[in-house]
Amino acid sequence: MPSFQFIEHPFPFCEPGEASNPLYAVAPSDLENPDILPENVGNFVRSAKFSAREGELLLLPGADGALAGALLGLGSRAENPFVTGRLSKLLPAGDWHLARYPGDRTQALIGFAAGSYRFERYLKPSAAAPVRLAIPEDCDADAIKRNVAAIRLARDLINTPANDMQPDHLEQAFGALACHYGADFSAVRGGDLLTSGFPLIHAVGRAGEKAPRLMEMRWGRKGAKSITLVGKGVCFDTGGLDIKSAAGMGLMKKDMGGAANVMALALMIMDAGLDVDLRVIVPSVENAIAGNAFRPGDIYHSRKGLTVQIDNTDAEGRLILADALAYADEEQPDLLIDMATLTGAARVALGPEVMPFYTDSDALSDALHQAGERLSDPVWRMPLYPGYDAKLKTGLADLTNAPAGGMAGSITAALFLKRFVDRAGTWAHFDIYGHAPADRDFGPAGGEAQAIRAIFETIRTV
């Protein structure tokens, strides 16, 4: 079944049999090798003073003066697998093929397509002709397009502003994804959250213009390995009554990045037809300010029965995840993974590109790290240090949602979530950023898919 896309983007690929110009990826040491570059090309390269530094492009003329191909520099170390992401900006429009690429061509093609991404929903459609690359016949075209579709889905959802990405809009996109792959989809909304046992989701989202909700998708074979994904879907976060500053609120349309990424990961799993029993759960709210907003000092019962004191209304993500994780845990999945744009502390620790995760499983940690290294989708295990568990204590309730002091904020948030998981075979929590602050080879600044390629590879191979 073709890969689902939230906003229609034509894949930037052409068929391998179509007429196209050759593209040669070369390192500086390749320039003097006659087995790589014919003598006439080598002469032109020297005349043009092409040095093959990373991302350098040289167009090659034919005997008649017409365009005959191009050289792409890989640099002396050739360590950037996504240098091909620059090609949509460097190459003349038209169709091209990788006549030579010494690295992983699958990753090069994914990088090219990821670098070609543009979010133009609110712009006039570009009339410019695209740059397209052919997928070689010995590469898995379906796998490449699957990765590209997942990256685009996460980016499109996160980049969409909150006026067009409220909980009802997110439900429409989630429902469309489920329908595309023949999955079952359901949602509990508004006051029904209370009667269905999701008091924290209701408390956080009840002040929003659109009703809070818990959405659920099921797909796959009963009896297969059970995989449950949970994603934080805060469609906009004002901070609540503990209101954020204007600067702090500027990027908060991305606070549903966890939901966007688990939906994109689910796309990959379903599109690949993995033999799993998949369940995806997304609690979705807007953390808004109104007369019925939840308050600092309030105490709420959770689905699990633990009481939680609200010491900061801007620590709302862990609250909606608590109910969702308790619900997910009730079915004792073999693997339970949650993803959330949860703490600024995670960014202070590892920055915007390396994604921290928490788990008690050494085997899962090793597999994730190896997959991330292989796919250039970096992840890093953080400690569930039990010595910080005491920070969650409070005198009036079982837990506080915002430990005092602010230190080890990502760890204490993970420890909070861990209190709501005790039946799953293995659990991992990803504290992602969901955003690229600047343009890179892999794509432009804005919403980003993070850790899902490493997680998918781990699920597929372990």
Q: What positions carry a catalytic annotation? A: 244, 318
| DSSP code, position 82 | T
Could you give the residue ranges of the DSSP H alpha helices within 330-430?
Answer: 344-350, 362-375, 409-418
Kind and range of the H or E element at 9? none
Q: What is the DSSP letter of 8?
A: -
Q: Terminus-to-terminus CA distance in the chain, angstroms?
A: 24
Whether 393 and 400 have beta carbons less than 8 Å apart is answered as yes
Question: Whole-angstrom Cα distance, residue 170 to residue 258?
Answer: 12
Measured distance CA(367)–CA(347) in Å, rounded: 23
Compute the radius of gyration of the chain from its Cα atoms.
24
CA distances from 451 to 129, 336, 368, 378 (A): 32, 15, 9, 7
- Tokens coding 112: 């090219």
Cβ neighbours, 10 Å, residue 306: 17
If you ran DSSP here, which 8-state letter would residue 77 be given?
T
Contact between residue 219 and residue 265 where contact means Cβ atoms under 8 Å apart: no
Q: Are 170 and 161 in contact (CB under 8 A)?
A: no
Q: What does each C-alpha distance from 117 to 85, 114, 143, 154, 251 come to in angstroms?
A: 9, 5, 18, 12, 20
Q: Kindly write down the DSSP assignment for every residue of 151-167, as one continuous string.
A: HHHHHHHHHS-GGG-SH
List the one residue out of 10, 12, 22, 25 whose CA is nearest residue 89. 12
Any residues with CB less than 8 A from the CB of 360 and at least 6 apart, and which? 384, 426, 427
